[in-house]
Amino acid sequence: MPKVVSSGNKKFIIFGGDNTQAGANHGNNADAYYTDFKNTVTSTLGSIPYKASIGNWEASTQSLFTTYLGAVAGKLNFPGTQAKVKYVWLDCALGKFTPASLSLLRNLDDQHYYIIDFHWPLKVSGITVDPSHVLSAAETSKFFAAIPTKVRDNVLAIFTHHGHKFYRKLNNIYPGYTKTKFFVCGCSGDYKCKPNGERGYYNGTLTINGATFSVDAFKVSVT
C-alpha cells in the first residue's frame, strides 16, 4: 500500500470489501482485525480520503464494520470534482442488494455524475469471472432497473471486486447502458493473481475536460 499511494496524484482510495477477513474464526478476532485495518490504513494514507465497501467476509460483523469503517451504503462528493461527481457505495455482501442500497439508486438525480462501487460483480454480457463469484441475473437486473432512466448516461463507471481477477468492459454493459464502464478489481489481499505472488492494486483515473467526464482503470503490479 505505501508503494501505491506514494506514486502519482492520489485523490481517493477505494477498498472493495473483504478488507479485514473479520468473519474468519467465526468472528472471534473481528475487533482486532478491524482495529488493525483501520490503524494501518490511517497511518499509511495520511490525509488521502478513502471509503471501504462491505464484503462477504464482513457480513457477519456489520456492526463492527460500521463502527470502524462507516456506513455500509451511502453517497458522497467525489474529491476534486466540485461536487459534480458523486461516489456511491452499496451493500451486497451476501450476494443480494439490500433494500436501502436499491432505494439509494432509485433516488439518484440527473444533476450529477456517478461512480458506483460494491463487492460482488454484476452478471454482464461477456464477463469471464468465476460464476460462483458473480451476482445472479436477477440481482443484476434489480440493480440496473433501480437506476432511473434519465440517470443512466450519468453513471460513469461501476467498480466491483470479489472475482479474484481484473476485468474491464468499457461499453454496452447492459441494455440501456451504452456509456457506463464496468470493472472487476478483485486480486487484492490474500489472493494471488499470478504465480509469483503479485498483489492486485489498481490505478483509476477520473478525467474532467470541461463538461465531459470519463473514468478508466488499470491493474498495477506491486510485489
Q: Domains in the chain, ordered, with CATH?
A: 2-222 (3.60.21.10)
DSSP secondary structure letter of residue 121: P
Give the model's pLDDT for residue 2. 85
Rg of the chain, C-alpha, whole Å: 17
Q: Report residue 148's pLDDT band, with 50, 70 and 90 as the boundaries.
A: very high
* Distance from the first to the final alpha carbon of the chain: 10
Averaged pLDDT for residues 124-141: 93
Answer whether residue 11 shows pLDDT above 80: yes
d(CA 186, CA 163): 5
CA distances from 194 to 164, 187, 211 (A): 11, 9, 39
Exposure string of 165-193, with b = 16+ CB inside 10 Å and e = fewer, is bbbebeeebbeebeebbbbbbbbbbeeeb
pLDDT in tens, 85-115: 999 999 999 999 999 999 999 999 999 999 9
Selection from 64, 26, 27, 40 nearest residue 189 by Cα: 40
